[in-house]
Chains A and B, each alone.
Chain A
Amino acid sequence: MPARVRPLSPHLEVYRWQIGNTLSILHRFTGLALALGLVALSYWLICLAGGEEAYGGAMRIFASPPGLMFLIGWTFSFLYHLLNGMRHLLWDAGYGFERTQRHVSGWIAVLGAVGLTACIWLVIWRGLQP
């Protein structure tokens, strides 16, 4: 008898979109982005170890428009994954399950990450002005 084909795991389509599942999915996406960012970090370190010429090449890539977009996305991913990760750790410790607490902590994670990313890049951008 052939085995019945059943959905095995997270079947996302059954959820109504709301803050809880949206932030959970965003946590996973930012995690994947950060795993890619780790490749970029290793590349930067390899070029730093490789000498001035290699380092200059890497810095030109990071300073190009796609490179800057990547770095801004990386900053947001890092801050969001960090803040939302702490939210997950608090849940694991048994705190913050009430509806209001969940919503407030969720908004803190998103808005905190967006706000901090904006502040950091504003400071960097002003530092780059002559």
Chain B
Amino acid sequence: MSLRSPLSRVLGLGSAKDGTGHWWAERVTSVALIPLTLWFFFSLLLLPGLDYGTARAWLALPISSFLAVLSIGVLTFHAYLGTTTVIEDYVHAAGMKVLSLMLLRFVHVLVGGAGIFAVLRVAFGSSAS
């Protein structure tokens, strides 16, 4: 006799409640990040300089801002998945665990959101100067 409810058996999710969802999302984002991060890294590296004008002109290109938004979005999600695993592995006190997981989520949305917003500002040209 199984102690699992019929619903949980139908859903096929083990004791972790979300089955292989987290593991699979880590794999999908890491595969996507191979071309995205290589593009970001080598684009910056191959610019003739990193002065204000050059960097801004590069990021304002539609292809650059589009890929930069995708990169930051996927990077943030991947970083969130990874750091969540570290907290789950090493923070055991129940209250502290919930608190740090919540804080981690807030920080990632904040950092990723701010980065994407900055790229959009450059792309659509609403600069202070």
Contact = CB atoms under 8 A, between A and B. Distances in A.
Interface residues of A, number: 33
B89 A10 contact: yes
Contact of B34 (A39, A50, A82): A82
Interface stretch (A14-22, A84-92, A97-105, A107-115): A84-92
Which secondary structure characterizes the binding site on chain A?
Answer: helix
Contacts, number: 85
A51 B115 contact: no
A28 B86 contact: yes
Interface residues of B, number: 37
Nearest to B55: A48
Interface of A: 8-10, 28, 31-32, 34-35, 38-39, 41-42, 45-46, 48-56, 59, 78, 82, 85-86, 88-89, 92, 120, 124
Interface of B: 27, 30-31, 34, 37-38, 41, 45, 50, 52, 55-56, 59, 68, 72, 75-76, 79, 82-83, 86, 88-90, 92, 111-112, 114-115, 117-119, 121-122, 127-129
